[in-house]
Structure 1
Amino acid sequence: MPQHTQSRSAPLSLRPPRRSLGALLGLSLLASCGGPAATPAPTTPTATTMQLNGTRVLGPAQVQFGVTPLNGTQTVSGTLSNPSVTFSTAGVSGAVSVCGQVTVQNTVTAAVTLDATGSMTTTDPNEKRRDAARAFVGRLTGGSQAAVLSFEASSTPSAGMIGSVLHQDLTADQALLNTAIDRATYARGSTNFYDAVIDAVKVASRAGRPGPIVLALTDGIDNRSSNSPDNAIAAAKAAGVPVYTIGLDATGSLDFTEMERIASETGGLFRSNVAAGDLDAYFSQLYNAFTAQGCLELNLAAAPAPGTTVAGTLWVDVTDYGKATSRLSVPFSYAVRDSGAPK
C-alpha cells in the first residue's frame, strides 16, 4: 500500500514584520509631532472692516447697533463673538453683547419714502437725496424690488394713500424707479411723516414678498399728520415691516425722539445728524444692512441724563470657516433722548 505524505504548515511567527529604516524614521517623526502634519492656519481674514448701520433704543440704558462686516466693499457672513466696548464719554460705563448673528438676505423689498416738504430747499438744496436714492436702487440685484413715494401735506395723496404720492409701486425696473425718484424730489408743503410711514408700510407689504422694509427720510418734525407715532408703530408691527428712519439734521438741533421710537419699536434702525452730502454713503450703508446685518447690544451701568451724547468704540471678532478670525472695531455715537417727554 503506498504511503501518504502528510503536509505540515509552517509555524506562525510571533515577531512583527520587519520595517525599513525610512518607515521607522517616518513613524518616529509623526509620533513626535502628535500625528499627521497639521493643516496650516488660514491667513485670509474673514472681514476687513465693520460698518455701523444705526441705533435701536430699547431703554435709557439699553441700545442696540446694527452692524455689517465687510471685506473691502463686499458684505461678509460670519460668526460674531467676544464683543467689547470702550467709552470716550466721561462717566459712562457698561458692557456689550451679541444680540444677533449676521443674517444674510439676498432679496431686498424696500419702500423708499422721501421728504418733499418746503424746508428741503434749505436742507438739501442740491437734491442729494435724489442721488442717494438713485444709487440705492442701482444696487438692486436678482429678485429685489423697490417702490418710491414722497410726502408733504399740500399734495393730493395717491389712491389708497393717506398722505403720500406713490410715484412707483414695487418693481425691479431701475429705469422706472429712477424716473419716479426724479418726480419725488421736489419741495413744498409741511411735514406729515407719520402718515407717510403708514403709507410706505402698506406699499412694502401688500405684495406679500418676504422681508419687506421701509426706508424713510425727513428733515423735520411732523406737524400735519392725521395719525400719531403709535398709529405708525402699530401699522408697521401688524404688517411685520421694520422702519429704517433717517433724520436729516446737519445742525443737530431737531428733536427726533418719535422718529427714533418708530424705528426702534418696529425693529428698524435710526440715524440722525446726517448732512445732505452724507446721504449717498448712508443709503449705500443701509443697502448693506438689508442684505447682511448682525446686532450688538450695549447695556450701560446707569442711564445717562437726557441730552448726553454717548460715544465710544465697539469691538468684535468675526469668524468664518477656512478664514482667519478678524478683530474689528467701529466707533459709535448716539444722543440720549428724554423718554418721558410728551409725545
Structure 2
Amino acid sequence: MLSRDRKWFLVIGIICAMIMTSISAWQPQTANAASPSASKVDAVLVVDVSNSMNTSDPGKIGNEAMKMFIDMLSTQNDKVGIVAYTDVVQREKALLNITSEADKQELKAFIDGLNRGAYTDTSVGVKEAIRILQDGKTAGHAPMIVMLADGNNDFNKTTGRTESQSEQDMAKAVAEAKNSGVPIYTIGLNADGKLNKNKLADIAQQTSGKSFITSSADDLPNILSEIFASNLKLKVVPLQSITANGNYQDVTVTVPNDSVLEANISIMSSKPVDARLIDPSGNTKPIPSSDVLLSKSKSYSLIKLLKPVAGDWKLQVKGVRQDQIDINLVFNYDLELKLDAPPAQSYKKGDSVQIRSYLTSNNQQFQDQELYANMNAVLKVKDLDSGTTNEVSLTNAGDAFTGSYTIPDEHDYELSVRAEEKSFYRETQPITISAKAGAGSGTNTGTTQTAAPAEKSNLLPLILAGLGLLVLLIAAFFIWKAVKKANRGFVGQIVLEIRDENTGEKTYPQYKKLNTFRGKFNLHQLLQLAPEFSGTDKVVFTPANQDRIMVRSTPEITIEKSGRAVDTGSGLELKNGDRLTIPLASVDKTILLEFISVNS
C-alpha cells in the first residue's frame, strides 16, 4: 500500500496535472512548432547472418558498416538496436540509449560476437526490427532501419516455409514500416554477384528509404553519409584521398565555427594507419584524449573531435607505402533552423506571405555571417489539397533567409524552409496556412484581443470539469494499483546462453519471453526444469519499477556482474541490457544471462 504522504503527493500531482491540462487547452496555439532536437535517431541495424553470407560478405563488411554507423553517431542520446537473423532471430539487442563511448563499445562487442547459421528468411529480420522500434521508440527521435543483406531466402524444408509465405510477411512488415514513417535503408552485400537487388530496392523505395550496393568497405563512408543526410542532418565532406609514402602526410581539417558539436574524421584503409593531430594554435592533441576519441576497426579508423575550436586543424597520416587512404569529415552542428510564423494563418488567393527563417543555437539566433555565406535556402510549399509540392528560392540576407510566397489558389498549404551548405543541412518544422474562403481574416490584427476574454471565461469551467473528474480518477487509480499489485506481470525477455567450461563451447542464445509469468519466477523454470540445473530454483525474479526486474538468490549461488560477484540476497535490480554470469560448479557449466526490457 502507498504511505499516507505518498497518497497526498499523488492527489496533489493529479490536481496540478488537471489544472495544467486545462490551461494548456485554453491557451491559443502558435503557428510555429518548436524545432526538433538535432540529429537524434532510433535506429535498428538488421544483418543477415546466414551461411550464404560466407560468399556474399566473406569479409564481414556488414559488421564493419554497423560499427562505423555506431561510431559516427554522437554520444548524446541516439538509440541503437541490433537484429541478427537467419530464418529465425539468432540474436537481438533492444534499443540502447547511447550516452558514452562505453555504450558504443557494448554495441560493437555484440556485433563482433555474432555467429552465422543455416537458412535465411529476410522477412524475419524486418519484422523484428519494427517490433523493437515500436517497443522502444522515443518521442522526437527519427526512427529508421538499416538492413545489410544479399536479399536472398533459403528455407529449411522441414519447416514447410515457402517463398510465398515469406513475401506475404515481408509485404505486411514493409506496409507497417511505411505507415509508421520508418524508412528502411538497404545495403546489398554483393561479393559473389548473387545479390537480389530488386528486392532490396523495392523495400527501400516503398518506405522512402534508399538502396545501396557494395562489396568493399571503401564504399561505407559515402553510403552512410547518404543515410545520415536523410535522417541525421549531416553530410560527409570528402577531405582527401592520398597514396601513402611511408611518412606522415598532412591533411587540413577546417572547423568552420564554434557551433560544431562534433567533427568525425574517418580514415579508410585496409592496412594499419597511424595519425597525429595538431590544433589551430599549433599544439599537438593526444589521440585519444578527453576531447579526442578514437575508434578502430579492421577497415577504418575514426577520430571524433568533441566541441573543437574553430580554425584549421592539421591531421598527419602515416600509412603503408602505396596504400590508398581515403579521408572524410562529418560535422554535427549545434544548430536548428527556425521559421518565423507568418502574421496570419488565414489568407486569400493572391495574398503575399512574407518568409523569414534563421539559424538558432541554444534557442538564440545564430549570427555567424561566415557560416551563412556558404548556405542556400528554399521555401518548400506543399498544396494540401492537390498534393503538389514546389520550391521557392530564398534570399540570403547574411543573418537570415528571406522571401515571399504568393498564394495561387484557395487551398490549404504547408510551408517549411530547408537550408544547407556542404557539410550539413537543417529543415524547419512545417507551418500550415489556409487560403480557403471563410477560413478567417487575412491578418491577426485585433483577432486575438477580441477572442481573449471569451477564451479566458472558458478557463473556469475547464478547471471545474477537471476537478469534477478527480474523485473518479483517484478511485480508479487505487483500484488499479490494488489489482496490479495482486497480479503484477513482467515485460521484456531474458536471453540465455550456457557455456561448457570443459570445452568452452556455448549454446545458441535462447530468448525467453517474460510476459507469461505473474508475481515471480525462478531461473530453473527458464531452463525448462532440466534436472542438471536443479539448484537454479534458488535464483528468483520479481517485477520492479520502470519495466525492470529484481533478482534474488541464496548465498550458495554465485552471481557475477561485470566480472565481480554481487550480493543478491536483498535483491539486485536489472535494467535493460544488464548481463549476469552464474557459474555452476556442480556441472562445470556457466549460465550467461541478459535482460532486455521492451520498453527501455
Q: Give the TM-score of the pair, scaled to structure 2.
A: 0.29
Q: Give the TM-score of the pair, scaled to structure 1.
A: 0.49
Say which one has the larger Rg.
1
Greater relative CO (CA pairs within 8 A, separation 6+): 1
